[in-house]
């Protein structure tokens, strides 16, 4: 699952994930993402986080609170920020922007064993 509000980056990442034979479900906002996370199982969750604007943090809280039940790998994609370190502990991996969509897809592939 991909949760990111930047259309350009999201489209590039979906293209990269598609080339690696992933089935991608995406959401541009946290409320919709939480609904999808409650309805379906995902192996990897790619979450765009903007600590300064507080975007993605509510979704990250949901992922943390439901970690065992979800059984998904969480990869945060965020802008470099000292505050991001506080949230990085809630993820399996944190990737700092700017990040190449192909690199993100390769990291997801590692966790899925593709």
Q: How far apart are the first and last CA of the chain?
A: 16
Here the CATH number for the domain that contains residue 13 is 3.40.50.2300
Q: Select from 96, 106, 78, 100 the least CA-distant residue to 17.
A: 106
pLDDT at 81: 85
Domain count, the chain: 1
Phi-psi region of 30 (alpha: psi -120 to 50; beta: other; left: phi over 0): alpha
Q: What is the pLDDT of residue 12?
A: 94
Q: Say if 92 falls within a structural domain.
A: yes
pLDDT digits (tens, 9 = 90+) for 68-77: 899 999 999 9
Is 69 inside any structural domain? Answer: yes
pLDDT digits (tens, 9 = 90+) for 14-56: 999 999 899 999 998 888 999 999 999 999 999 998 866 667 8
**Residue 114 domain-assigned?**
no
- Whether this model's pTM surpasses 0.75: yes
> Is there a domain that residue 40 lies in?
yes
Identify the domain containing residue 27 by its residue range: 2-109
Q: State yes or no: pLDDT of 84 exceeds 70.
A: yes
Query: Alpha-carbon torsion 98, 105, 44, 25, what sign?
Result: positive
**Does residue 73 lie in a domain region?**
yes
The pair phi, psi for residue 12, each rounded to 5°, is -65, -40
Mean pLDDT (the chain, rounded): 90
Q: Picking from 6-15, 79-88, 90-99, which range would have the lowest pLDDT averaged per residue?
A: 79-88
Q: Which two tokens stand for residue 36?
A: 């999808």
């Amino acid at each position: 699952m991909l949760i990111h509000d930047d259309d350009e980056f999201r489209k590039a990442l979906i293209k990269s994930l598609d080339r690696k034979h992933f089935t991608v479900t995406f959401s541009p906002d946290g409320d919709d993402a939480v609904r999808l996370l409650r309805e379906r199982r995902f192996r990897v969750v790619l979450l765009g986080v903007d600590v300064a604007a507080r975007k993605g943090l509510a979704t990250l809280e949901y992922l943390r609170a439901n970690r065992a039940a979800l059984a998904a790998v969480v990869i945060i994609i965020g802008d470099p920020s000292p505050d991001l370190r506080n949230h990085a502990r809630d993820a399996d991996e944190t990737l700092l922007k700017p990040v190449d969509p192909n690199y993100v897809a390769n990291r997801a592939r590692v966790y899925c064993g593709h």
